[in-house]
Amino acid sequence: MFKPDVPYFDYEPYIHAKNGAYHFDMMIPAFMQGQKLVLFMSFKAPILSQILKEHIISEHPVFLVRKDIPDLIEVTSSAVREELKRPIKLNAGEISRIGATSFVDYTKWKVVVIENAKVMNNFKHERQLDMAIIFLVLFVFWAAVTWLGLHYENRRGTLLSKLSHQSLHDALTGLVNRRKLNQELSFAIQEAHDFKCFSVILYMDLNGFKEVNDSYGHDVGDALLIEFAKRLKQLTRHHDVVARLGGDEFVVLLKNLGSSPEEIQGAIEDALKRFEVKLNANYDLAGINQSLKCIPSIGSVVLDNHIQSVDEILKRADFKMYEQKKAFKI
């Protein structure tokens, strides 16, 4: 029955801005029993004002304005135009903050929602705070993950380094062990063959060490070995190698002492004199009230270009050390 497309009816409202009686009239065409009729409606503006007030969105002001005059206010959630305590037109700032628009069909009206600047700023600040909190949480999380990862890698590296050190060093004295010594001897033998630069090993053990262990116990014996190792380190250069093979057997590799027999022999004699003075001195150890004397027997061998293997050089040095040991006992 309702024919909005019929051109000869006016469906738009008439606004009557009468003092104290501000209202709207509307004519609606209808066809009833074959007759063309016009339904007339008139309603007070405060009703629209109340409706707008009830549907206000998140404290954003709502206005009923004209389609043909977009900034002209008809009704707000607080009053109708004649009762407004503000300008009856939207200002430029309000127009720029229009967040939503809804057209009222078949009328000259549209409803606009103006964003509340304070609400939007609060919302913006709250979102910024939320983002800052999220960023802080993520930063702390990733910092913790990074720290744990670095801590794990550091612990792992430290453990691997410690294991590597333990695999190549003597636990009691901290000197290199047989495995590390064999590596260093291999390098020295190769240098002798390639560059004719010769090294010397001193193979030694402590005379009377067993008696010290038997008389004073293993703690004193261990203390004696530690002190002996310290003296060996003091007698050598930073690139020399000092090793403990086990028990009271020690080996010193004096690297690159020369390239001629005369130069090598002079270096060996000088080294043996220094070692004799330092290693033959008495030991004052904690736990006993007397000095101990524990003189080493030393066998020396040159790593020249005739040496072919690590086992060969160690056997020759061990043999010479035992010759010295026999002479010591005599």
Same domain, 190 and 272: yes
- d(CA 307, CA 312) in angstroms, rounded, equals 7
Q: Which of 107, 102, 108 has the alpha carbon at shortest distance from 68?
A: 108
Q: Which of 98, 115, 132 is the last residue of a domain?
A: 115
- Residue-wise pLDDT for 181-196, tens only, equals 999 999 999 988 888 8
Supply the range of the domain harboring residue 185. Answer: 178-329
- Residue-wise pLDDT for 67-121, tens only, equals 888 788 888 877 777 778 888 889 888 888 888 888 877 677 888 888 887 776 7
**Residue 73: strand pairing partners:** 65
Same domain, 298 and 211: yes
Q: Which of 99, 115, 131 is the last residue of a domain?
A: 115
User: What is the end-to-end Cα distance of the chain in Å, rounded?
Assistant: 141
Q: Which of 63, 81, 115 is the last residue of a domain?
A: 115
pLDDT over 90 (residue 206): yes
- Residue-wise pLDDT for 261-284, tens only, equals 889 999 999 999 999 999 999 999
Q: Are 23 and 80 in contact (CB under 8 A)?
A: no
How far is residue 305 from each of residues 29, 137, 261, 317, measured CA to CA in Å?
Answer: 123, 67, 12, 16
- Residue-wise pLDDT for 14-56, tens only, equals 566 566 677 777 666 666 676 767 676 776 777 777 776 666 6
How far is residue 58 from each of residues 103, 121, 148, measured CA to CA in Å?
Answer: 20, 13, 46
Same domain, 86 and 200: no
Number of domains in the chain: 2
294 or 330, higher pLDDT = 294
